[in-house]
Amino acid sequence: MPKPDLLESPETDLLHELDRPWQVVVHNDPVNLMSYVTMVFRRVFGWTAEKAEQHMMEVHVKGRSVVWSGGKEKAEHYVQQLHGFLLLATMEKVP
Amino acid sequence: MTFEFAKDGGGRFHGIHPVLEAILRAAAADPWERCPEGSARLLPPPGDHGELIEDWEDHVRPELREGFSMARSVVEEDLGAMTQEKKGEWSLTIPSDHTDAWLTTLNAVRLALASEHDLTEADMAADEEKADFSTPKGMALLQVNLFGFMQECLIRSMED
């Protein structure tokens, strides 16, 4: 019979893994115009021009920006929307 | 070639030189046929989770591709309605409800061309006067810049 502490650890990890939210990341692409990326952010997320520009600049300068985090289904929805506008977007588990 | 804003969004490009007119008509070409190598960029995977990618391939990709195809049809329709002005120049009207289709299609062609010809950020920022349009890469750069100019005009038309 395994010790309880040996069992607890994997179960906790599994629950933690299942609970971990997803995040949507937009990656830099030099072809996409800055104004276009800003417009897409405003359309997809309903952001103000200021917030959309901040994220656009983060993509441009740092190469990526986390634009949303939450449930898997909604993350898939956002990635699909961003791909529909041809932005380079991926989803990953929040570290 | 200049852009005139319409009151209800959208607008009209006029004074389009016949050379640019020919390039512009190519915007409606299917990027998957025109740039098979570059078109991979148009439908990237959503991440690196195997299950996610499988589901994406089966359900999302066909839907996205269908959306791009529909947008291209709208662009084709507007290009077919281009009119010739005096002096042999052309005019293109883009109704406000066609703006999204144009933005998507122009972006798809730009991305496919850039990918196929390995255009870098430096290439696109370089002085156009130094570009050699007699080479395939130079011609691709001209197209990418022309379509980018059109995108900027259309985005501004949506903001005003």
A35-50, pLDDT tens digit by residue?
999 999 999 999 999 9
8 A C-beta contact, residue B143 and residue B62? no
pTM: 0.87
A9-29, pLDDT tens digit by residue?
545 555 555 678 999 999 999
User: Which chain A residues are within 8 Å of B48, Cβ to Cβ?
Assistant: 90, 92
β-sheet bridge partners, residue B2 = B14
Scanning every residue of chain A, which has its alpha carbon at the shortest distance from the alpha carbon of B45? A90
The reply to whether B155 touches chain A by the CB within 8 Å rule is: yes
ipTM higher than the 0.85 cut: yes
Residue stretches of chain B with pLDDT short of 70 = 34-39, 127-130, 160
| Alpha carbon distance A38, B11 (integer Å) | 21
Kind of pairing, strands A88-93 and A22-27?
Answer: antiparallel
Beta strands per DSSP E along B1-137: 2-5, 11-16, 83-84, 90-94
